[in-house]
Amino acid sequence: MTARHRILHLSDTHLRHPDVDAAAALARILYDVRFLPELDLVVVSGDIADDGSVDGCVDVREQVGRFCAERGVPHVYCTGNHDTRAAFAAALGSGHLAADGTDIGTPMTGGSGQRAAVSVVAGLRVITLDSLVPGQVHGQLDPAQLAWLRDVLAESAVAGSVLVLHHPPIAVSTSPILGSVNLRNADELAEAVQGTDVRAILCGHFHMQLSGLLRGVPVWVTPGVVTRIDFTSRPGWERAVLGAGATVVDLGGPATPLFHVVHARDPRAGEQVYLVDAVSREEVVGEEP
């Protein structure tokens, strides 16, 4: 019988966001998922602090940490394009924390300070990758990190592996933005995971739910906590609206992996935060004109 694991997947908390009360959005989704049963792990896939600060990362760690401590489960983080490696390391260490806050991750050695690491949760190997390119919105995995990943995956784990990184290796072809801000070297990641025990690749960054396959490996992009992208905006524009979301990832069972989205019960959900012209980058804050 395949081992079963349940992961709560959060992303894009963006603490200290200038236009949204991001701390309240995170508190709301954590409150509204408080009755989820049988959680084994909480994952936060990047863009932890909007300003890249240590204090922003600490605030997220404390909120998520309290939730996890009450349930006796670990919490795992990776870097996003809004994060800085120094602040991430200062606040979160390897990014793999036990329920009591102890650092349980084994970090990648070398790699110019990249925050890639691995830990094992009840036989499930959890690997975080660092796709951050400082000063850029898109993501990239350098050769050293990919070589480290291949070495880690060379031997199978008891319950298989899950990868966590910020930038998705997939994109929606009709979007004017997503194909330019995703993971630039998805083919190299695909080569590294093909034929291994990777059961799912969990990502954030897009602030919307999206699924696809990377050489047969399921890829899941979870909605953002701070905002979500509304694809009903007019052509050529990207609209962000309020409404924190998260994903429950079930591994094991006949339909594994199974992903289902949960939404915070926010009375302002759907209210526009901004509208951006994908070409000129003109931004409209507040209600659509």
* pLDDT digit string, tens, across residues 23-37: 999 999 999 999 999
What is the structure's pLDDT at 285?
Answer: 65
pLDDT surpasses 90 at 149: yes
CATH number at residue 261: 3.60.21.10
> Where in the sequence is the domain holding 233, given as residue range(s)?
5-285
Average pLDDT, the chain: 94
The answer to which of 60-64, 140-144, 236-240 has the lowest mean pLDDT is 236-240
pLDDT of 70 strictly over 90: yes
Ranges 159-163, 220-224, 237-241, 248-252: which has the least confidence: 237-241
Higher pLDDT residue, 286 or 266?
266
| Domain count along the chain | 1
Please list, in sequence order, all residues whose beta carbon lies within 8 angstroms of the beta carbon of residue 270, skipping any fewer than 6 positions away.
230, 241, 242, 243
- Would you state the pLDDT for residue 286? 59
User: 105 CB contacts (<8 Å, ≥6 apart)?
Assistant: 76, 93, 94, 95, 96, 97, 117, 118, 119, 128
Compute the average pLDDT of residues 99-122: 94
pLDDT at 1 over 60: no
Q: How far is CA 168 from the centre of its chain?
A: 9
Partners of 248 in beta bridges: 8, 260
pLDDT band for position 288 (cuts 50, 70, 90): low
The dihedral through the CA atoms of 144, 150, 153, 155 has a sign that is: negative
pLDDT tops 90 at residue 109: no
